Amino acid sequence: MDRTDRLSEEVKKELSDLIRNQLKDPRLPELVSITAVRITKDLRYAKVYVSVFGDDDKKNGALAALKSASGFIRHEIGQRINIRYIPEFTFILDDSIEKGMYISKLIDETISGDKSSKSGSDRDKD
C-alpha cells in the first residue's frame, strides 16, 4: 500500500466521521456513506465517492450539501490530518450499493421462484 492509498483511507475515515457528526445540513439524509476516496499523486485533488440511500431528490440534495460544505470539510480535514496539501474535494455519487441490493433482490426472487416451480413439479409426479 503506497502513501496515497494510506492517505485516501485516512481521509475516508475522517470524512465519514465529519459527515456523521459535524455537518448539520438538512439536505443530508441519515444514510450517507463514503464508499471510496481517490487522491491524486500530487495530493492536490481528491474524488470522494458517496452513496446516498433515498430517491434522486435526496441524492442531489446530499451532493449539493457536500459541495457547499467543501470549504468547511477541507478546513476540518486539514486540522485532523497533518499533510502539506489539503486536497480539493470533488463529490461523486456512487450507486454501487443500490445496484448490489437490486442484484441481490433479483437473485433471491430467482431462487424462490425456482423452489416454488420445483415443489409444483414434484406434485405433478404423484
> 59-112: per-residue pLDDT in tens?
899 999 999 999 999 999 999 998 888 999 999 998 877 788 889 889 988 888
Q: What is the pLDDT of residue 116?
A: 74
Q: Per the structure block, which three cell numbers stand in for 13?
A: 475515515
Q: Has this prediction a pTM greater than 0.75?
A: yes
Q: Domain locations in the chain?
A: 3-94, 96-126
Task: Tell whether the model's pLDDT for residue 117 goes beyond 90.
Answer: no
Among residues of the chain, what percentage have pLDDT more than 90? Answer: 47
CATH of 3-94, one of 3.20.20.100, 3.40.50.150, 3.30.300.20, 3.30.470.20: 3.30.300.20
| Contacting residues for 33 by C-beta, under 8 A, at least 6 apart | 16, 50, 51, 52, 97
